[in-house]
């Protein structure tokens, strides 16, 4: 019909299509146009308050009976009571029922042997796991360094059958790995996420020691067991405990042994030996008290790391030591000095000990 009316299809198509709009000219960079251009609606929300609104806010603050007051600089003083309350709540939540936030527990290999019928006593490892589990629920971060004396002690075997000291110490390091894997299995059996990190690579059974990864494990609530000592011969696991404690920023070294604490003499040879509640680093070094090797004591002293020595066999001692209760012997640096009475009742000026902050 369109052809019969004398209108071609192309002309009909042109009639139906809308006329093209003229192309928009590029935005002008003229300063005058920029000043006249309206601000973006989102930017207008963040615009500064007008003088009228500031005056109204000041009048409302003056007429209110609350603690807030207008400071004259346009700040929202009415929010101050709420902020103060929030700060009080956060400060109250920061109070914790335990003394230490991150601790390093040193477990000697001999303590793991228990009654010495076997190299490792499963009852001892389970007792350790349960007490560690009770404190990790409070939010305490726990790292553990294990010894290997229940399986192999390098210093004792050096020189036997041509075994040099370095090789003997490496064998002792592998003994600590065996104890660490056993303790890890015990902890995970009761639901404690645990990671073992070794000073030398044994990738098939444990992670290599990486400081930042270890700290991240602790922040996630996992227990980290450090094995293989420092990875170097001629260094004890006590030195490894002091070193790892300083590296991961732990607050205390808890040394779990088979004795109740530090004695002023060897209780096996002297029946009158008495346990010391608090001891200074200098006293440990000068009197050669058999607590830790001198390298470990010096490292703790230089980094201001306290040490708590207690008996592992007494039930509940681990949890008590971790939460900061008085147990065993406290060795460390505190602010207050006190003279201790000597055996004849007089005050010995040279016999000083540091009083702990229990």
Task: Round to whole Å and give the CA distance between 16 and 147.
Answer: 92
For position 13, what pLDDT does the model report? 44
Return the closest-CA partner of residue 226 out of 205, 199, 264: 199
Residue 3 vs residue 104, higher pLDDT: 104
Residue 200 vs residue 79, higher pLDDT: 200
122-173 pLDDT, tens digit per residue, is: 999 999 999 999 999 989 999 999 999 999 988 777 777 788 999 999 999 9
Contact (Cβ atoms closer than 8 angstroms) between residue 177 and residue 206: yes
Task: Round to whole Å and give the CA distance between 337 and 352.
Answer: 7
What's the average model confidence in pLDDT over 190-198?
97
For position 154, what pLDDT does the model report? 80
Measured in Å, how far apart are the chain's first and last C-alpha atoms?
Answer: 107
Strands (E), 112-155: 141-146
Task: Round to whole Å and give the CA distance between 199 and 82.
Answer: 51
Contact (Cβ atoms closer than 8 angstroms) between residue 279 and residue 336: no
With 0-12 / 13-18 / 19 or more C-beta atoms within 10 angstroms meaning exposed / middle / buried, residue 43 is exposed
Decide: helix, strand or coil at residue 149. Answer: coil
For position 25, what pLDDT does the model report? 52
Contact (Cβ atoms closer than 8 angstroms) between residue 313 and residue 258: yes
Return the closest-CA partner of residue 198 out of 182, 169, 177: 177
Q: Measured on CA atoms in the order 186, 176, 309, 195, is the torsion positive or negative?
A: negative
Strands (E), 223-331: 223-227, 253-257, 262-263, 275-276, 278-279, 307-311, 329-331
What's the average model confidence in pLDDT over 185-201?
97
Residue labelled with tokens 């690579």: 201
For position 96, what pLDDT does the model report? 55
Residue 10 vs residue 142, higher pLDDT: 142
31-88 pLDDT, tens digit per residue, is: 444 444 455 444 444 444 555 554 555 455 444 444 443 444 444 333 333 333 333 3
For position 64, what pLDDT does the model report? 45
For position 269, what pLDDT does the model report? 84
Task: Round to whole Å and give the CA distance between 244 and 238.
Answer: 10
Q: What is the DSSP string of 78-119?
A: GGHHHHHHHHHHHHHHH--SSS-SEEEEEE-HHHHTTTTTSS
pLDDT at residue 321 is higher than 50: yes
Contact (Cβ atoms closer than 8 angstroms) between residue 310 and residue 128: no
Task: Round to whole Å and give the CA distance between 269 and 292.
Answer: 19
For position 59, what pLDDT does the model report? 52
pLDDT at residue 253 is higher than 60: yes
Mean per-residue pLDDT of the chain: 75
- Six-digit token string for 157: 């075997």
Decide: helix, strand or coil at residue 231. Answer: coil
Return the closest-CA partner of residue 124 out of 175, 174, 187, 171: 187
Residue 278 vs residue 18, higher pLDDT: 278
**294 Cβ neighbours under 8 A, 6+ residues apart:** 285
Return the closest-CA partner of residue 248 out of 302, 296, 209, 293: 209
Contact (Cβ atoms closer than 8 angstroms) between residue 112 and residue 129: no
Lowest mean pLDDT among 32-46, 179-193, 225-239: 32-46
């Amino acid at each position: 019909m369109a052809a019969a009316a004398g209108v071609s299809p192309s002309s009909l198509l042109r009639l139906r299509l809308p006329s093209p709009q003229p192309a928009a000219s590029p935005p002008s960079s003229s300063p005058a146009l920029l000043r006249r251009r309206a601000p973006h609606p989102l930017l207008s929300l963040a615009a500064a308050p007008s003088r009228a609104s500031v005056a109204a806010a000041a009048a409302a603050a003056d007429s209110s009976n609350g603690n807030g007051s207008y400071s004259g600089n346009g700040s929202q003083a009415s929010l101050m009571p709420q902020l103060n309350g929030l700060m009080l709540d956060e400060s109250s939540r920061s109070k914790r029922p335990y003394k230490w936030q991150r601790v390093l527990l040193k477990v000697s290999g001999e303590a793991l042997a228990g009654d010495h019928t076997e190299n490792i006593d499963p009852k001892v490892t389970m007792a350790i796991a349960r007490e560690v589990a009770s404190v990790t629920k409070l939010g305490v971060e726990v790292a553990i360094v294990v010894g290997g004396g229940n399986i192999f002690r390098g210093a004792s075997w050096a020189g036997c059958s041509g075994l040099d000291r370095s090789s003997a110490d490496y064998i002792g390091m592998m003994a600590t790995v065996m104890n660490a894997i056993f303790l890890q299995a015990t902890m995970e059996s009761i639901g404690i996420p645990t990671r073992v990190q070794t000073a030398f690579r044994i990738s098939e059974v444990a992670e290599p020691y990486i400081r930042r990864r270890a700290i991240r494990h602790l922040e996630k609530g996992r227990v980290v067991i450090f094995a293989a000592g420092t990875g170097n011969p001629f260094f004890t696991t006590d030195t490894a405990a002091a070193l790892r404690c300083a590296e991961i920023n732990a607050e205390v070294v808890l040394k779990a042994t088979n004795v109740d604490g530090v004695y002023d003499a060897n209780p096996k040879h002297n029946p009158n030996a008495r346990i010391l509640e608090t001891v200074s680093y200098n006293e440990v070094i000068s009197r050669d008290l058999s607590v830790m090797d001198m390298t470990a004591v010096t490292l703790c002293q230089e980094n201001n790391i306290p040490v708590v020595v207690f008996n592992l066999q007494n039930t509940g001692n681990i949890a008590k030591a971790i939460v900061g209760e008085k147990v065993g012997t406290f060795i460390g640096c505190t602010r207050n000095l006190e003279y201790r009475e000597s055996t004849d009742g007089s005050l010995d000026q040279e016999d000083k000990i540091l009083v702990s902050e229990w």
